Amino acid sequence: MTTATSSPPTFTELQKKLLNDFQRNFPLSPTPYAEIATQLGVSEEVVIQMLREWSDQGIIGRVGPVFPPNRIGCSTLVAMSVPPARLEEIANYINTFAEVNHNYEREHPFNLWFVLTAATPVRLQTVLEEIEEVTGFPVMSLPLLEDYHIDLAFKLPF
């Protein structure tokens, strides 16, 4: 987790282009990183290394598609009330599931929220039950009732 006293990272012009230019229209090909590299004028290895380093540093969480809810498989928003002293531990455990898109802390009694997407309703329920069993904290599943489009891409203000 980044603290309020941490200074923000600085980025080169190349890094800024990688972060801003490929949030939309990510190349759909067998070699997307090679295509990005060609557009940026660098090698595929440079692109992959930058993304790997940012992932390791917690600057980016993942590189992957975002599908409209319940178009592929099924999903739910999940809320948990976790003691602050265990929040990072529980969040890290939740992140071990491939079905978890992202999780985040909120200033609320339900302080840990995440989106869970699974291939089937049975798998979704299995993951919810496992999280509850392993953590010892109840999960509140909040399935989508009405769909609102939220654009997750945004220009970073460097």
Q: Which CATH number do you get for residue 112? A: 3.30.70.3460
Are 138 and 78 contained in the same domain? yes
Non-local (6+) Cβ contacts of 37 within 8 A are 43, 44, 46, 47
Classify residue 79: in a domain, yes or no.
Answer: yes
| Residue 34, domain extent | 13-57
Classify residue 62: in a domain, yes or no.
Answer: no
Classify residue 33: in a domain, yes or no.
Answer: yes
Classify residue 6: in a domain, yes or no.
Answer: no
| Angle subtended by helix axes 32-40 and 13-21, to nearest 10 | 130
Positive or negative torsion for Cα 120, 32, 25, 113: positive
Positive or negative torsion for Cα 12, 18, 20, 21: positive
Classify residue 46: in a domain, yes or no.
Answer: yes
Are 131 and 90 contained in the same domain? yes
Confidence of residue 69 (pLDDT cuts 50, 70, 90): low
Classify residue 158: in a domain, yes or no.
Answer: no
Phi first, then psi: what are they for 118, rounded to 5°? -135, 160
Tell whether the model's pLDDT for residue 15 goes beyond 60: yes
Tell whether the model's pLDDT for residue 30 goes beyond 50: yes
Q: pLDDT value at position 5?
A: 53
Positive or negative torsion for Cα 37, 40, 41, 42: negative
Tell whether the model's pLDDT for residue 1 goes beyond 70: no
Are 106 and 48 contained in the same domain? no
pLDDT mean across residues, the chain: 88
Are 35 and 94 contained in the same domain? no
Positive or negative torsion for Cα 94, 100, 105, 108: negative
- Quote the number of domains for the chain: 2
- Structure tokens given for 31: 């070699």
The predicted-structure confidence for 72-84, as pLDDT tens digits, reads as follows: 789 999 999 999 9
Are 36 and 81 contained in the same domain? no
Positive or negative torsion for Cα 21, 22, 26, 31: positive
Are 80 and 53 contained in the same domain? no
Tell whether the model's pLDDT for residue 125 goes beyond 70: yes
Mean pLDDT of all residues in 46-55: 95
Are 47 and 96 contained in the same domain? no
Are 79 and 138 contained in the same domain? yes
Are 48 and 91 contained in the same domain? no
